[in-house]
Structure 1
Amino acid sequence: MSASVARPVALIILDGWGYREETTANAIALADTPNWDALWATAPRTLLTASGRAVGLPDGQMGNSEVGHLNLGAGRIVMQDLVRITSSIEDGSFFANNELVRACEHARSAGSTLHLLGLLGDGGVHAYDQHLFALLDLVAAQGVSRVALHALLDGRDTPPKSGMEYLRETLAKLDGRAMLGSVSGRYYGMDRDNRWERTGLWYDAAVRGIAPHSTDALESVQHAYDRGITDEFMKPVVMVDPFGMPVAPMRDGDVLICFNYRSDRMRQSLRALAWPDFAGFDTGARPKLHITTMTQYEDSFPFPVAFAPQSMRNLVGETIAAAGLTQLRTAETEKYPHVTFFFNGGMDAPFAGEDRG
């Protein structure tokens, strides 16, 4: 690159825009897109594979927005956290992971509850069920006696009513090893757009035990389905004992392991749990928790991280900055983390000459 370049260059990412020759059920091919058609007909072009091994995912695994921006910003194939964590389970190193073992030791020595928080199912975008099941094996092997799961239902990266079977399978894995503390759709527990009223409903259920009561999680999910509410939008419920008492509210000294590996939709809930001077909603007396996250959710978070970020050099933004050029990253709120954090290889800090709007 030369600092003498006078004309700006734009990298425009159409998130979710793809190519397929067949026109059946192909909204892009069937739509009226004259500008796109003109570019396609007159400009140099090529196609990139956006799923599977081409973007650091397992064979057959669909790509997603985070993965796409991460690979584009790196200019290379980036091994995704899904693959890293799954490989560690397969080779056994997961069960000796320093931060996960320390979290278990803390709960065991304090006699406190170890809470697990994350998305159920095999969607593979934010979380993966085999990681949760491995965590259950780990905490059992570490002798943690009191374990609670706060389950988030997907229905967005999985079929909208698949949560029932995912929950049924998970409950079988919990049997005798852990209890279910709360159930919520991801609409509430994984908001990323500062809609604090949503996060507040999840927080009240999972942390304070304040929400509609349930003694049968599967029945509660079916009740939501009967009212036309799918997994993503299921309102939080708190599991209670036969006397109507919440079975696993979060208390001072408890441990929390967040097993989602994708960062952007976990930040908001963790700010509510632990951020100093948090003012998004009334949290009541927040419990003092020992929190561990599966991956690094934000540079400023002080929590131990089980799988630290991979170090990458010569990213696109870094190369532009090194050439003495300026750059502007801009997107609507929903995609702001993608053109900043993910495009910069999972780093929050901007490069020299990088503005954001």
Structure 2
Amino acid sequence: MLKAVTFFLALFLTAGFTSAAPSELLKNLPALTDSVEEETVIDTTISSDDDDWWKMDKKKKDKKVVIKKKNKKDNNQTEDEWVEWDWDEDWDVDFNVWNSDDNPTISVMYGQGGFKQSYLSDMPFGELRLGYGGTTVYKRKDFLTNYDASYLTYSIQSATFGEKKDAALVESKLTRFGMGWDEGYGYNLGGNASLNLYNTFGIGWSKLELVDSVANPVDYNYLSDYRDAYRFGIRGEAGISLSPIPNLSFNAGYERAIVYPRVLFWKTAGSLLTESVAGWAVEEFVDRILHNSPAVAPVMNFILRSALIYGAYELRRDESNFPFNGVEPVAHDTFKFGISFIF
């Protein structure tokens, strides 16, 4: 969860900083480049007798820079060391958000969803997930497992999957696409079987379509921000995954999600950052449990992370950007079960 929240915040803040960056900064880039070249010329005139000096020579290939450094390895030896810096290779940071080193997975989920807004009808739910995931034996204790998955998701909550139960309620259709990250621990049952307890953080864009008309003008105006447009939202899930064999797992989970009528950048980022700090505290606490009492760690991790998801959801049901002021979002809960194929 912490990795997912941090990744999303990084993209979110980067996008905001880029959009807010003054154009003068870009205009000054050539001047900055010229000043570096001038300093390079000055540096080449420094005597090699100085203790701290460096100089840069630009090769014919623009992507490579040669740095000449003078390092003292010990009190009796001083050498000049030439280092070749390849921009493409040395800045190739391995930030494997999608866990692509794991096995490809396909998951199909089905369930029942309901809205906080009581005038909206509960409806069946269907979801398809494509991504990467896997279960590995925990490095310190072989009776424990480490479970993680990352995926793209597409879901529909609609009466199409079942019959409408209450004619007095407004029937709707909720379509969502997005991304999700599962993390958790479990137990090695032997013979390649495992039982994993996981929690999910996900982001997505949802579109709410009303099949029936809304009689109440207040409710009608409230839903006008959602109709026929995709809106950003977040979700959390607590679930259990049983894998009798490595290539198959049966899953059951309970999801809580909110959809923002609009995104207030700094408030939304601050709210998610607050949750990530709480998630970091839980992660550190669970690490101590893993060290001292590993047998109960999967259960305690599941309970604490689920409590965090539940608490964050409850606080955002009325204030979407809690602890900052915000509007009331569309909130919905879903109980679902499904099957995953691991390749």
TM-score w.r.t. the length of structure 2 is 0.25
Greater share of residues in strand: 2
Greater share of residues in helix: 1
TM-score w.r.t. the length of structure 1 is 0.24
Structure having the higher Rg: 2
